[in-house]
Amino acid sequence: MNFNEIYWKYYPELFRFAIQLKVKETDCNDLVQEVFTRYLSERYKGKKPPEQLRAWLYKVLLNRVRDNYKRLQYSKKAEAEFKHTGMKHVDEQALLLQREKKERMFAMLDQLPEREKSVLLFYHNGLSYAEIADIMEINPNTVGTLIARSLGKLKEQLKKQYHELFE
């Protein structure tokens, strides 16, 4: 694949992933662009493209987000700003319910340790176990166990806080 094909294939999902990591929408484009700049830089240095290109792109983005987060300390306001942009629904009640569900899920995810939160977001974004293992630098056999444990913890948190949903 040439660079344009790679860019247009992976840009949308990397952008969505950055949003899921609570990066301000205005900063997502810059961070994703930095990922592709890094890819081109590696290619110009004569390095072969990574075998697991998709996983490599996610890993670089995750590292960029972490670096940026440490420097800027994003606020909860970024998530709220994202939820309000581009949503034009006629049914206000359905919109409020959808927003409340997202807020609850993000709140639950935020209570998980970073490793468990990351594995669930990678899995939700459709990455394979091999890609997740490569990004997180763990054994591929461990990925399924980590996902199951993380989902179990998430379910327990939901049961504790919203027990009426499970009765």
**What number is the average pLDDT over the span 71-77?**
50
Q: How far apart are the first and last CA of the chain?
A: 52
**Segments making up each domain of the chain, as ranges:** 1-86, 96-167
Distances (CA, A) of 33 to 107, 126, 155, 165: 28, 21, 35, 42
Taking only the tens place, the pLDDT of each residue in 83-136 is: 555 444 446 777 777 777 777 777 788 888 888 988 988 888 888 899 999 999
- The pLDDT of residue 85: 56
- The pLDDT of residue 24: 83
Q: Looking at the domain 96-167, which fold is it?
A: Arc Repressor Mutant, subunit A (1.10.10)
**What number is the average pLDDT over the span 137-162?**
87
- The pLDDT of residue 89: 44
- Residue 82 pLDDT > 90, yes or no? no
Two structure tokens written together for 154 = 């998430």
Q: Using alpha carbons, select from 42, 39, 40, 69 the residue that is nearest to residue 55.
A: 39
The answer to whether 118 and 6 have CB atoms below 8 angstroms apart is no
CATH 1.20.58 for the 1-86 domain, yes or no: no
pTM: 0.58
> Poorest-confidence range of 29-43, 60-74, 114-128, 133-147?
60-74
